[in-house]
Amino acid sequence: MNRGKSPPINLDKYLVGKEHRYCTYNEGARLYCMNYWGFVTFCKEAGANFKLRKTALVDLNIVDKYIEENFKEEYEREVSEMASRRKIEDLADVVKKGKKKYVRYAEGAELYSIGLHTFENLAKEAKATRKVKGVVLCNTEKIDAFIESFEE
């Protein structure tokens, strides 16, 4: 019998009843959309890393619990602030009064009561799109003129 050299034949008996999810630092960084060293530091703060011989594993259950306990309120506050900043209550009135000449795709789709992809195609056909620092803005005046050109 070679002790220590052959792995256990049935690993399931060691894993039964243990509902933990483990991953490496690379997999975890990709999973949580973080950079590698930021994720490593985060896992150490959460106490979720387990060092093995030449690698380390992260218990994702501990990471999730740590996030829920410490960052849930902050995340919900950021999401609500972003939604309130983006949402214009009477978008149609603001555009009609000339206060807002350019809209994003999502706002334009809501304004014209059409789907997002349909609005994207419409704006491109009307040559009303401008890309500014990675954000696509659509000129509502050009889109209106383009739509009016289809008048029967």
pLDDT tens string 101-112: 788 888 888 888
DSSP secondary structure of 94-114: HHHTTS--EE-HHHHHHHHTS
Average pLDDT, the chain: 77
Would you state the pLDDT for residue 11? Answer: 47
SS3 at position 138: strand
Output the pTM of the full model.
0.40
Q: Kindly compute the dihedral angle of the four CA atoms of residues 3, 7, 13, 17, in this order, to the nearest 10 degrees.
A: 120
pLDDT band at 120 (very low <50, low <70, confident <90, very high): very high
Residue 10 has pLDDT above 60, yes or no: no
pLDDT band at 127 (very low <50, low <70, confident <90, very high): very high
Mean pLDDT of 87-95: 62
| Ranges 2-6, 16-20, 143-147: which has the least confidence | 2-6
What radius of gyration, in Å, describes the C-alpha atoms of the chain? 26
One-letter amino acid at 105 equals Y
pLDDT band at 58 (very low <50, low <70, confident <90, very high): confident
Helices marked H in the chain: 12-15, 25-31, 36-46, 60-86, 91-96, 105-112, 116-125, 140-148
Would you state the pLDDT for residue 23? Answer: 83
